[in-house]
Amino acid sequence: GDSLQLQNEYYKVTFDSDTGLVSQIENLHKGINLPITQNFYWYNASIGDAKSSQASGAYIFRPDSFNPLLISKTAKTYVVKHNAVYGEVILGALINKDVSSGKGQRDRWGKEIISRFKTPLQTNATFYTDANGREILQRRRDYRATWKLEQTEPVAGNYYPVNSRIYIKDGKQQLTVLTDRSQGGSSIMDGSFELMLHRRLLYDDHRGVDEPLSEPGDYNVGLVVRGKHILFLDTVDASADLHRPQAQQEFMSPQIVLSTGQQYPYWMG
């Protein structure tokens, strides 16, 4: 009945007791408290329509609707364990059951799966993505700096490469996500952002690859995708001090070597 919480000395994350989904993140050091929801959705891939015969494919992202479909309203949270070392909440059967198994593809719908974070932050159509982990670029929805944009693809036309991070902010708070690989991302609505996790398509987009984007190539073989998003909530001024070093640590992470013999005595750098 009570809401579930994971807490360490820096953060407290609350999970809704009814849905099992993240409902709030609190930065305990800074006294920042942000209601947040995260959920998985999928865009139904276009196979061409009256406007254009263009299908969604490897080069072209073209959903058939502005609104992605919710995969599951509840997360069936079934395990919460934590101690001083580690805390983990396992969300049971959230997306594998319904979407990513793909076995047989009986529904014949291409699926483009996203993780979307929603917050009450006033972001004024602005969000930020990185340029190969270095410069951070400001992105504005339905806007190009050097010409007057006539937006014909309200979702795809606002997607940008996210090589390592994406964030939104208002005057005080910033919500940042580090990704574990290059993904696409956008902020389709104010206060929210999303990352494209996986694409499984059934049609070629006729842009050169000459294959539908469907790993591992056989429609009858499912695929499980495992990845990591690292989320930071902090003040705008302090956020770069968090995500910059953490990104280095993730992307140049320690290498683990194992041995059954005697312990290596070397410790100095």
What distance in Å separates the CA atoms of residue 101 and residue 223, rounded to the nearest whole number?
6
- Supply 128's token pair: 């930020």
For residue 248, give the H/E element and its range. helix 236-251
Of the candidates 135, 146, 148, 257, which one interacts with another protein according to CB under 8 A? 257
Q: Is 261 in the site for another protein (CB under 8 A)?
A: yes
Q: Is 182 in the site for another protein (CB under 8 A)?
A: yes
| Residues near another protein (CB under 8 A), total | 46
Rg of the chain in Å (alpha carbons): 20
Q: Is 215 in the site for another protein (CB under 8 A)?
A: yes
CA torsion angle for 6, 70, 140, 167 (degrees, to 10)? 20
Phi then psi dihedrals of residue 236, to 5 deg: -60, -45
Give me the least distance between CB of 181 and another protein, in Å please. Answer: 9
Q: Is 59 in the site for another protein (CB under 8 A)?
A: yes
CA torsion angle for 202, 203, 205, 210 (degrees, to 10)? 100
Give me the least distance between CB of 60 and another protein, in Å please. Answer: 10
Give me the least distance between CB of 207 and another protein, in Å please. Answer: 8
Residue (124 or 249) nearer to another protein, CB: 249
Of the candidates 96, 105, 126, 235, which one interacts with another protein according to CB under 8 A? 96
- Within residues 223-252, the interface with another protein by CB under 8 A covers 224, 226, 245, 248-249, 252
